[in-house]
A = this chain, B = another copy of it.
Amino acid sequence: MSFVRNAWYVAGWSSEFGDDLHALEIIGQSLVLFRDSAGAIKALEDRCPHRLLPLSKGKRIGDTIQCGYHGMTFDGRGTCVRVPGQDNTPQSANVDAFEVEERHGIVWVWMGAPDRADRSLIFDLPEFSDSNWHTHHGGHLHIKSHYLNVAENLVDPAHVSFVHPTTLGNSASEDVPVHVSTSGDVIRAWRWIRNGPPIGFFQKFGGFKGNVDRWHYYDLHLPSTAVIDFGSIDTDLNCPEEERDRGVRIFAIHFVTPVSEDYTIDHWMHLRNTAQGDQAASEQMDAMFNMAFAEDKEILEAVHEAEKRPQRRRPIRIAIDKGPNVYRKRIRDLVAAETTEDLGDPVRPVFIEK
């Protein structure tokens, strides 16, 4: 098991959650979500305690869910409020409820111990509330790969030269070394490619005539939110690292949600300091991101398939792996710490016998 449980994960954009019952799975836990009459999103274990039918197959009745098999009914806190055919509603009939937070149009669910659900830990950026920045929710990508493969790719600037040669990378960067540093729960991998031709993305959106200085800062926030700060500026302006706002600057954000050991959903969006309110630019960027992320998806699924085969030799690690190496070690440490803390075993192997 490689999931960090005490964490906020993204369930989707706010716009995806309405009156209907919405089923999804995060770190192996089935959830049913709905927006109640007060507008608050509720998240419950998606499993009737009686015959295990997913509650998402039942129906909304006011602010409760009625199971589709025998009508057991649960409120937004997971409390069983009705068992048809009997008067009492035993405590054992309750289902787990999960803390939910909506912020900047993003829906977060806390998958750990309820009493640890600290809302101050939810990922945030000052630029979300800065009118000089344009925010655009992109899409989401379903990837048949382990979330660590997906997330490590987001602290790995080196792959863009080879996986995205026409959009996010080009050969000018192939041998430029990558720096890695960590600060609290953020692992940063970055590099500047000075005095090179603009990549496809900035040929399209930067309006550059000559060579540019280009940067990539990959900030991976534990357990699996990535902010990729990338941009370009005329080489002639000789931009210092800390003055990136003078150039064309994009924050591509990935919310990586582990579904199971074999499946991951990546919700992606971006902020930019250019083309405010320009819907056409947003759509063109989405098209380019979609193309690039489809390239990642193909690689990440092939890697996952390969990892499931028995191996004669251990994989090797190379210099550009610094970011992924640090990231995987931090995750292992978090998982190990949660295991020894005993959060009440997430899934004990009890199976239904006939």
Task: List residues of A whose CB falls within 8 A of some B CB.
Answer: 2, 47, 49-54, 57, 66-72, 83-86, 90, 92-93, 146, 148, 158-159, 161-163, 174-178, 261, 298-299, 302-303, 306-308, 310-321, 345-352, 354
Number of copies: 3
- Give the chain B neighbours of A84 by CB distance below 8 A: 158, 161-162, 174-175, 320
- Give the chain B neighbours of A352 by CB distance below 8 A: 307-308, 311, 315
8 further A-B pairs in the complex, CB-CB below 8 A; given A57-B298, A71-B162: A2-B354, A53-B303, A69-B303, A84-B320, A90-B316, A93-B316, A311-B351, A315-B352
Task: Give the residue name and chain of the B residue nearest to A84 (CB).
Answer: B174
Cα distance A175–B306 in the bound complex, in angstroms: 50
Among A57, A174, A318, A351, the most chain B Cβ lie within 10 Å of the Cβ of A318
Secondary structure at chain A's binding surface: helix, strand, loop or mixed? loop
29 contacts between A and B (CB under 8 A): A2-B354, A49-B316, A50-B315, A50-B317, A50-B321, A52-B306, A53-B303, A54-B306, A57-B298, A70-B159, A70-B320, A71-B158, A71-B174, A72-B318, A84-B162, A84-B320, A85-B318, A85-B319, A85-B320, A93-B316, A146-B354, A148-B354, A308-B352, A310-B349, A310-B350, A311-B347, A312-B347, A312-B348, A314-B350
- Contact: B162 with A303, CB < 8 Å? no
A89, chain B: closest CB distance, angstroms: 9
* A319-B83 contact, Cβ under 8 Å, with A306-B52, A351-B310, A352-B307: yes
Task: Give the residue name and chain of the B residue nearest to A324 (CB).
Answer: B51
Task: Give the residue name and chain of the B residue nearest to A157 (CB).
Answer: B85
- Give the chain B neighbours of A70 by CB distance below 8 A: 158-159, 162, 318, 320
